[in-house]
């Protein structure tokens, strides 16, 4: 039995959680900064870093108090050490270092993307390696072969925008506010996707990569045309995005089976966009076609949270990182992945 304190601060959620090796989320708290960033229509790094600095210490104290525990009861302190907005990452990581040093417990520096990648195993004990993971968040859109803890092979990535970013930009174009993904999903429910023709970038292309910039531009043109209902645009955008996601994920599944002969145990989705019901049901249908189990974390574990960071700490329990471990603004899960042709700086 082990229990890990996890801290997350890479974007606009300050979060702390206690998770044990029996997969129990013993306590968790999340302080969202949506209200602070809303006037700017997106996350402002300086405001985020300041808010994390104000909140992280009381949040950790409250999480421990909720569980009736002190630092003496935990086996390790895990914190997101990147990638993300560097000011926020530094705040969470420095706090974790201080707590680890004061309590003489190991520090475990967690890659935020690994937190997302392993989060489905927190909710589903039956999920075994290797699995094919679609990781879709505000900053990332990747297809990964998850072979084990710390063993990730990137099969595909976006050459421009992340999927969550495309949802957020569509929300902005439609004046739906921030954060955009859930608002687009809600509006799409009342629209008719067939009324607005939109492109499906990279559909059918050989490598399982993604592109959403052209789709976003087409959404902007559809809005500017002034002849479509916003709900129809939202529905058409979501459908086009899902068609791309399904096609690209199918390509990765087929290539994995044919080229590499590695049989995956499941099709898994994680990250903020995994909270989208239409995305989930599209992927569930795809998994069914290939007789694969489909695994998606509960909604609260999809968007940023500290339980996934604590769980990654449980998966890595026994390891420790030096107290001078530096926060990393960029930290690819697969350092050997080749750069993608056509990709900009975000690759």
* Contact residues: ligand KG4, CB under 6 A: 11, 137-139, 164-165, 167-168, 179-182, 185, 271-273, 275-276, 303-304
Tokens of 195: 């009324």
CA distance 54 to 322: 25
CB of 75 to ligand KG4, least distance (A): 26
Query: Which of 48, 273 has the CB closer to ligand KG4?
Result: 273
Query: Which of 111, 137 has the CB closer to Zn ion?
Result: 137
CB of 70 to Zn ion, least distance (A): 29
Q: Pick what 273 binds: ligand KG4, Zn ion, none; C-beta below 5 to 8 Å, kind-dependent.
A: ligand KG4
Binds Zn ion by CB under 5 A, chosen from 161, 165, 168, 304 = 304
Q: Pick what 321 binds: ligand KG4, Zn ion, none; C-beta below 5 to 8 Å, kind-dependent.
A: none
Task: Reply yes or no: is the peptide bond before residue 83 cis, omega within 30 of 0.
Answer: yes
Those residues whose C-beta lies under 8 Å from the C-beta of residue 141, and which sit 6 or more positions away, are 135, 157, 158, 161, 162, 163, 164, 210, 212
Query: Which of 67, 166 has the CB closer to ligand KG4?
Result: 166
- The CA distances from residue 120 to 114, 116, 128, 269, in Å, are 11, 8, 10, 8
Sheet with 25-32: strands ordered across: 25-32, 13-20, 3-8, 76-82, 107-111
Q: Pick what 164 binds: Zn ion, ligand KG4, none; C-beta below 5 to 8 Å, kind-dependent.
A: ligand KG4
Q: Pick what 168 binds: Zn ion, ligand KG4, none; C-beta below 5 to 8 Å, kind-dependent.
A: ligand KG4
Site string for Zn ion, 78-117 (x = CB under 5 A): ----------------------------------------
Query: Which of 24, 186 has the CB closer to ligand KG4?
Result: 186
CA distance 14 to 182: 20
Long-range contacts of 204-209 (CB under 8 A, 24+ apart): 204/247, 205/251, 206/251, 207/156, 207/251, 207/340, 208/143, 208/155, 208/156, 208/248, 208/249, 208/251, 208/252, 208/255, 209/156, 209/157, 209/158, 209/159, 209/248, 209/340
CB of 8 to ligand KG4, least distance (A): 9
Query: Which of 219, 275 has the CB closer to Zn ion?
Result: 275
CB of 11 to ligand KG4, least distance (A): 5
Q: On the CB side of 248, how many CA atoms lie within 13 Å of its CA?
A: 30
CB of 140 to Zn ion, least distance (A): 8
CA-closest candidate to residue 37, choices 20, 21, 28, 49 = 49
Query: Is 28 among the residues that bind Zn ion (CB under 5 A)?
Result: no
Any bridge partners for residue 20, and if so which?
3
Binds Zn ion by CB under 5 A, chosen from 28, 33, 63, 137 = 137
Query: Which of 3, 30 has the CB closer to Zn ion?
Result: 30
Q: Pick what 182 binds: ligand KG4, Zn ion, none; C-beta below 5 to 8 Å, kind-dependent.
A: ligand KG4
By the criterion CB under 5 A, which residues form the site for Zn ion? 137, 304
């Amino acid at each position: 039995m082990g229990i890990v304190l996890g801290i997350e601060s890479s974007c606009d959620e300050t979060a702390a959680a206690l998770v044990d090796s029996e997969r129990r989320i013993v306590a968790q708290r999340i302080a969202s900064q949506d209200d602070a960033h809303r006037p700017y229509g997106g996350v402002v790094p300086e405001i985020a870093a300041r808010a994390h600095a104000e909140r992280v210490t009381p949040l950790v104290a409250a999480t421990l108090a909720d569980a009736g525990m002190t630092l003496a009861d935990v086996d390790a302190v895990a914190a997101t050490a990147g990638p993300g907005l560097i000011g926020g990452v530094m705040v969470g990581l420095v706090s974790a270092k201080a707590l680890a040093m004061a309590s003489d417990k190991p520090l475990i520096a967690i890659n935020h993307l690994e937190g997302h990648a392993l989060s489905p195993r927190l909710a589903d004990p039956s999920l075994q390696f290797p699995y094919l993971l679609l990781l879709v968040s505000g900053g990332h859109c990747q297809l990964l072969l998850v072979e084990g803890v710390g063993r990730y092979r990137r099969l595909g990535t976006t050459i421009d925008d992340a999927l969550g970013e495309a949802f957020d930009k569509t929300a902005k174009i439609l004046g739906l506010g921030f954060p955009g993904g859930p608002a687009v999903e809600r509006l799409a429910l009342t629209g008719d996707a067939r009324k607005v023709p939109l492109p499906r970038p990279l559909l059918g292309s050989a490598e399982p990569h993604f592109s959403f910039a052209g789709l976003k531009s087409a959404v902007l043109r559809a809005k500017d045309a002034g002849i479509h209902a916003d709900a129809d645009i939202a529905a058409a955008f979501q459908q086009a995005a899902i068609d791309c996601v399904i096609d690209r994920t199918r390509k990765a599944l087929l290539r994995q089976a044919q080229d590499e002969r590695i049989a995956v145990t499941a099709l898994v989705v994680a990250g903020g966009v995994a909270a989208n019901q239409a995305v989930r049901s599209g992927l569930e249908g795809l998994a069914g076609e290939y007789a694969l189990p489909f695994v998606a974390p509960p909604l609260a574990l999809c968007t940023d949270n500290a339980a996934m960071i604590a769980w990654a700490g449980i998966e890595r329990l026994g390891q420790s990182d030096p107290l001078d471990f530096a926060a990393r603004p960029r930290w690819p899960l697969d350092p050997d992945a080749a750069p993608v042709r056509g990709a900009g700086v975000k690759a």
